[in-house]
Amino acid sequence: MKDISESQARLKGIFNITVTPFTRAGEFDYAGLARNIERVIGLGYDGILIGGTYGEFPAMTATERAQMFRQVMEVVGDRVPVMLCSAGSDARVVRELTELAGSLGGLPMVTPPFVSEVTDAQIVSFFRQMAPLSRTGILVYNAPGIGITLPPVVLEQLADIPGVVGIKQGDLNPTAIDQLAHRLGGRLRLFCASDLAFLGPMMCGFDGISTTNSGALPELILATYRALEQGDAATARDLHRLWYPYRALARRLGQPQLVKAAMNLRGFDGQHVRPPLSDLNAEEVSLIEAELHRLASDKRSGVTLA
């Protein structure tokens, strides 16, 4: 993408949150990453997200993240829009990666600075400093998982900053979703950050979702989203119900480790997680395998096993 206008136009639909495949020794598997990207683009996903919280960016150095940005943009080109997570607790790193992401044609995704006792005013000031750094604008990621949940009143302030093209909303409180959809819908792009419960935000008028579990269940989650997009809420509901047991495992065992294990079972390039995360044990993997077999037995899922 070349500028903010193009980012605003293309930032919609279903985006795969691409996991970062690491070897057992902790090295990047760039060939595997490229295959994962090609799979979801080939299936018809509208975009991808690289190096997010489930992409394990906190376990990477700034140099590693910059190299991954470059590698991914070489693979994708301009075929689909790419969100590149430039979040961090060190504003110098965020600045560097935000500038790089925009210069490469990606859309930088920025979280609030996760430092102790940061105030709302400091958060707004931080985003005012970051937004002008990228020629493609920035995406605000409201990520409760980092320990800071931005309330709607703060998100409305951030929406007024020139260069903010969208919000990826990780706080799925129904009241917050309703407020954002009705106060900010149409002003900028609104994305649901979780595939575990995206039907509600989309019915409220959100513009798209980002999905980690589509690494493991790309066909099923895409079919669910497309049904909802086409106004077939009943089919979307039934397909979403179909993988509830998998979602229960995801909540219990954690992402991205569960996603990577499921990908490996399907013959995809999930590989390993980096410390402080740990790969799932044999008993946990067997639970995922049983769930994949259950899904594969239902033709509606589209899931096949290697």
Catalytic residue IDs: 141, 168
Return the structure tokens found at 140.
């605000």
DSSP element (H, E) containing 17: strand 13-18
Is 30 exposed, middle or buried, given 0-12, 13-18 or 19+ CB atoms closer than 10 A? middle
Query: Are 105 and 77 spatial neighbours (Cβ–Cβ below 8 Å)?
Result: no
Q: Kindly report the three-state secondary structure assignment for every residue of 121-149.
A: HHHHHHHHHHHHHCCCCEEEEECHHHCCC
Cβ-count burial of 202 within 10 angstroms (0-12 exposed, 13-18 middle, 19+ buried)? buried
Q: What is the enclosing helix (H) or strand (E) of 14?
A: strand 13-18
* Separation CA 95–CA 209 (nearest Å): 26
42 contacts: CB under 8 Å, gap ≥ 6? none
Burial zone of 289 (CB within 10 Å; 0-12 exposed, 13-18 middle, 19+ buried): middle
Long-range contacts of 151-154 (CB under 8 A, 24+ apart): 151/176, 152/176, 152/179, 152/180, 152/183, 154/120, 154/123, 154/124
C-alpha distance from residue 278 to each of 257, 260, 281, 300 (Å): 7, 11, 9, 32
Cα(259)–Cα(146) distance, integer angstroms = 20
Q: Contact 286/232 with Cβ under 8 angstroms?
A: no
Q: Reduce the DSSP state of residue 280 to 3 states and report it.
A: coil
